[in-house]
Amino acid sequence: MTGTSPAGLWTVTTPAELRAALKDAHRQGQSVGLVPTMGFLHEGHAALIRRSAAENALTVVSVFVNPTQFAPSEDLSNYPRDLARDQALAQASGAALLFHPQPQDIYPAGHATTVSVAGLNTRVEGASRPGHFDGVATIVLKLLQLVQPARIYFGEKDWQQLAVVRRMVADLFVPAEVVGVPVVREASGLALSSRNSYLSAEQQAQAAVISRALRAIQAAYTAGERDTAALLAAGQAVLAQEPLELDYLHLLDAELHPLQGQLSPEQAAGARLVFAGRLHGVRLIDNMPLLAAETSSDI
């Protein structure tokens, strides 16, 4: 083990150390919660850790910038990192153990296995970022194998990621509950993300247009609009107020297929609005249910 700084939080760096640190908890039948992250933790991650700490005897937070979910053109080398900050937030939020491996610990020489959730991995975000969800599924399964948690926690901001993990866990009979935690937002409505750190305060204020656009679609539905094209147009009109480069704005069903035409009440009940785009070169994503009953946490 690499120490206990800050006080009360063990930090381990190898799979062997992680398994050793969890041996007694598993032998005693204690429930373990897992919060997988790529670090640079913020209040959204803190909400996941607090939820896990409330529901489990011991919470593990992984901090690993996973190279297999980045395309060659993406920001792997520039992704923000601050281990001391991550340790402090994890400990303050109730974590007992932080796992901070290096790439060679997770993908040793000769590594040849990739997990692919067919269908879900190539739609929507997967179409924009080929291979991304294979990288996500692979690292999550590795962490599940290492930690063997009773529950694993994800923020609902990455809605498709949550769907991919749920399908993988169900398909492979992984004995862990997948828990989705509501999006945490700034007072402006901007969904918290580690990538927000790339934006200035003024640019973050501009980015709040994303949540306003999604809420405009919700409002249009509440006002009686049922045509999907008209609903999406209401959101696009709001997005046009800021210099966003739109990647996609979709209304999806539970299987992540775009909904079209007139919405039935049954379709609307499970429909999800999803957005991706770039602002000043920074790629941002967000989502909300079509029906304006989302319970999100504001800070």
Flag whether 150 is in a domain.
yes
Question: pLDDT of 223-281, one tens digit each?
Answer: 999 999 999 999 999 999 999 999 999 999 999 999 999 999 999 999 999 999 999 99
Neighbours of 254 (CB within 10 A): 11
d(CA 177, CA 64): 21
Are 78 and 133 part of one and the same domain? yes
Flag whether 186 is in a domain.
no
* C-alpha closest to that of 45 among 97, 78, 8, 90: 90
Cβ partners under 8 Å of residue 63, min gap 6: 37, 38, 39, 41, 83, 86, 90, 98, 99, 100
DSSP 172-196: TT-S-EEEEEPPEE-TTSPBP-GGG
Q: Which amino acid is at 268?
A: A
- Residue tagged active-site, from 26, 42, 45, 280: 45
Domain interval for residue 264: 194-298
Q: What is the mean pLDDT of the chain?
A: 95
Please state the domain count of the chain: 2
Q: Over pLDDT 70: what percentage of the chain?
A: 96
Residue where the block lists tokens 């509440």: 222
Are 108 and 236 part of one and the same domain? no
Q: Which of 181, 206, 241 is the last residue of a domain?
A: 181
pLDDT score of 2? 47
Q: The domain that contains 59 carries what CATH number?
A: 3.40.50.620
Q: Which of 118, 149, 181 is the last residue of a domain?
A: 181
Question: pLDDT of 132-160, one tens digit each?
Answer: 999 999 999 999 999 999 999 999 999 99
Flag whether 234 is in a domain.
yes
Are 80 and 222 part of one and the same domain? no
Are 72 and 135 part of one and the same domain? yes
Dihedral of CA atoms 169, 69, 9, 147 in degrees, nearest 10, equals 30
Are 175 and 226 part of one and the same domain? no
Question: pLDDT of 27-66, one tens digit each?
Answer: 999 999 999 999 999 999 999 999 999 999 999 999 999 9
Tell me, yes or no, if 45 is annotated catalytic.
yes
Residue where the block lists tokens 């800021």: 242
Are 112 and 199 part of one and the same domain? no
Dihedral of CA atoms 219, 222, 226, 227 in degrees, nearest 10, equals -10
Flag whether 173 is in a domain.
yes
Q: Which of 154, 181, 208 is the last residue of a domain?
A: 181
Q: Over pLDDT 90: what percentage of the chain?
A: 92
Are 288 and 156 part of one and the same domain? no
